[in-house]
């Protein structure tokens, strides 16, 4: 496609999981591709989000496993402690290795990587600036994949940044030390994951969530259960609560937290803002060339990801629909096909898995029970717990439950929701089943290996059918 007029067929702006995947797919389809990235290959997910947070979680989980190894018959003498610097160095190494992997894939697919900040001059021309130098790049098509960044929520009295003990998730994944006391605002995925990490490292954590339970975007049963599990490991979970104001005191912050009618003052060293991100659209000349913006980012005209300027597409966090790495990648692949092959494929969000990597893990796909009822379905619900499952007992991970939502009329699977060990891997049987519009009959006939944690999914299907074998 590229000719003398253009440097590339497609320029992708941003090398996060949306942008780098879109770039590779466009190159695989034969397009000449350039990626412009102002910071690190891999974007938020690899550098500040999914990967560093999971590396930290894994270290804390290992520490806890060792501390509780006695129950498994393992005797450990001496003190078991975390070398925090070493833990963070391991995390950094994982991030750097993964970053290198993206660079390698760019080379393999003959993708040009240009470092710098991209700004539009017109609908086919970018100015890319770095360290006071700039260059112009022209392309037939563009994919906007600039992602999102942390924001500082406005809390009365709370001012400053990292040095003042006001942290965002970017600060948490690069934490210089383990604060003695923390208040984490927001009980979404980010808030609960960091609550698990820092409390496991010895921090006294108070988690403040506005809704009546943590992870409110998940099926209610999972949020209630996770709240209990976090409390069990020492996190002070305050649901239905708000951070009213903060006052600077020696060594940290005095925070006023209101839960119902109860008002309490909690002193902490660090307030971690675990909520709020904004799309990276500033200073790029987008509106000047006709790309429309809305409150959450770039406006797309339909599910095939075109913006109001037909040769410019937008994917991932920057258009603000579902802010998950795997959704960004999925959208990137569709956008690449649409551009290079002239298609108008649309995305199907029916089976997007959503996962939380606390211990225990949480995963859900499809409709929650509440959403299914709200949509007017007559639902059958099946539940089964991990407590009596043989593999769970052998592994010492018996907490948690699987819940299935079935349409009573046609027997179609509507949703699968789980909390427990390894559920972020197990959820994919629900993803496939939903995509194939599986019915309860076919699910009941799907043999699950013994002994596995996944047998509990089959048991939940059997419960929805009214005939669970192991139900007490
Ligand atoms: P990003 O990953 O944000 O990448 C955008 C890139 O564009 C960045 O590298 C940026 O530097 C670059 N850029 C921006 N503007 C310009 C410009 N003008 N010129 C050049 N380059 C530019 N999601 C999950 O699915 N699973 C998880 O476990 C998970 N954990 C998370 C944990 C944390 C703490 C956070 C903060 C997020 C987490 N997420 C997770 C969300 C996930 O990181 C995002 O949904 C994902 O990174 C979005 O991908 P993206 O490609 O749209 O954008």
If we measure between CA atoms, which residue out of 8, 19, 2 comes closest to residue 336? 19
Answer yes or no: is pLDDT of 351 > 80.
yes
Answer yes or no: is pLDDT of 126 > 60.
yes
Tell me the CB-side half-sphere exposure of residue 383, using CA atoms within 13 A. 11
**Residue-level pLDDT at 320:** 86
Dihedrals φ, ψ of 418, to 5°? -145, 150
Rounded CA separation 443/354 (Å): 21
**β 181-185/204-209 pair status:** parallel
Answer yes or no: is pLDDT of 26 > 60.
yes
Answer yes or no: is pLDDT of 335 > 90.
yes
C-alpha of residue 463 to centroid of ligand 1, in Å: 39
pLDDT (tens digit per residue) in 308-325: 999 999 999 999 889 999
**Residue-level pLDDT at 1:** 52
Cβ of residue 45 lying under 6 Å from some atom of ligand 1:
yes
pLDDT (tens digit per residue) in 140-177: 999 999 999 999 999 999 999 999 999 999 999 999 99
> Residue 458: which H helix or E strand, with range?
helix 455-464
pLDDT (tens digit per residue) in 203-217: 999 999 999 999 999
Average pLDDT, the chain: 97
The average pLDDT across 236-243 equals: 98
Residue nearest to atom 40 of ligand 1 (CA): 50
Share of the chain above pLDDT 90, in %: 97
Cβ of residue 39 lying under 6 Å from some atom of ligand 1:
yes
Q: Which atom of ligand 1 is nearest to the CA of 128?
A: 19
pLDDT (tens digit per residue) in 253-282: 999 999 999 999 999 999 999 998 999 999
**Residue-level pLDDT at 95:** 98
Tell me the CB-side half-sphere exposure of residue 183, using CA atoms within 13 A. 27
pTM for this model (two decimals)? 0.97
**Residue-level pLDDT at 445:** 96
The residues that are catalytic are 450
Ligand 1 test: best mutation among 145, 147, 328, 428, most atoms within 8 Å of CB?
Answer: 147
**Residue-level pLDDT at 276:** 86
CB under 8 Å to 211, separation ≥6 — which residues?
A: 187, 239, 240
**Residue-level pLDDT at 134:** 97
Gyration radius of the chain's alpha carbons: 24
For the sheet with 241-249, list strands across it. Answer: 241-249, 252-259, 262-268
Angle at 261 between CA 258 and CA 264, to 5 degrees: 40
**Residue-level pLDDT at 303:** 72
**Residue-level pLDDT at 3:** 60
The count of residues in the chain is 472
């Amino acid at each position: 496609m590229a000719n003398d007029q253009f440097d590339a067929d497609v320029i992708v702006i941003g090398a996060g999981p949306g942008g780098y995947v879109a770039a590779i797919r466009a190159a695989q389809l034969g397009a000449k591709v350039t990626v412009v990235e102002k910071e690190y290959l891999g974007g938020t997910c690899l550098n500040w989000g999914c990967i560093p947070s999971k590396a930290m979680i894994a270290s804390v989980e290992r520490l806890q496993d060792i501390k509780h190894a006695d129950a498994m018959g393992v005797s450990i003498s001496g003190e078991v402690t975390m070398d925090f610097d070493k833990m963070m160095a391991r995390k950094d190494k994982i991030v750097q290795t993964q970053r290198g992997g993206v660079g390698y894939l760019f080379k393999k697919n003959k993708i040009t990587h240009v470092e710098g900040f991209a700004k539009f001059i017109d609908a086919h021309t970018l100015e890319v600036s770095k360290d006071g130098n700039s260059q112009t790049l022209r392309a037939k098509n563009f994919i906007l994949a600039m992602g999102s960044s942390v924001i500082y929520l406005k809390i009365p009295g709370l001012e400053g940044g990292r040095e003042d003990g006001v942290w965002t998730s970017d600060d948490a994944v690069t934490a210089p030390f383990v604060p003695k006391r923390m208040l984490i605002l927001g009980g979404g995925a980010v808030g609960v994951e960091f609550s698990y990490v820092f409390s496991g490292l010895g921090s006294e954590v108070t988690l403040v969530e506005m809704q009546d339970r943590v992870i409110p975007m998940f099926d209610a049963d999972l949020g209630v259960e996770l709240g209990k599990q976090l409390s069990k490991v020492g996190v002070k979970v305050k649901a239905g609560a708000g951070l009213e104001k903060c006052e600077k005191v020696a060594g940290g912050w005095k925070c006023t937290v209101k839960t119902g009618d109860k008002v309490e003052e909690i002193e902490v060293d660090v307030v971690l803002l675990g909520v709020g991100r904004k799309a990276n659209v500033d200073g790029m000349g987008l509106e000047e060339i006709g790309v429309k913006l809305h409150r959450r980012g770039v406006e797309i005209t339909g599910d095939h990801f075109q913006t109001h300027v037909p040769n410019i597409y937008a994917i991932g966090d920057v258009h603000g629909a579902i802010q998950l790495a795997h959704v960004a990648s999925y959208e990137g692949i569709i956008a690449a096909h649409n551009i290079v092959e002239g298609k108008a494929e649309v995305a199907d969000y029916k089976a997007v898995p959503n996962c939380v990597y606390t211990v225990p893990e949480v995963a859900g796909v499809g409709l929650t029970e509440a959403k299914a009822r709200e949509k007017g379905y007559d639902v059958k619900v099946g539940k089964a717990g991990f407590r009596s499952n043989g593999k769970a007992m052998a592994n010492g991970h018996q907490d948690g439950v699987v819940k299935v939502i079935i349409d009573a009329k046609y027997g179609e699977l509507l949703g699968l929701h789980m909390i427990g060990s390894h559920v972020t891997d197990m959820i994919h049987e629900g993803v496939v089943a939903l995509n194939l519009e599986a019915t309860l009959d076919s699910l009941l006939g799907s043999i699950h290996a013994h002994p596995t944690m996944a047998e509990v999914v089959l048991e939940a299907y059997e419960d929805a059918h009214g005939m669970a074998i192991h139900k007490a």
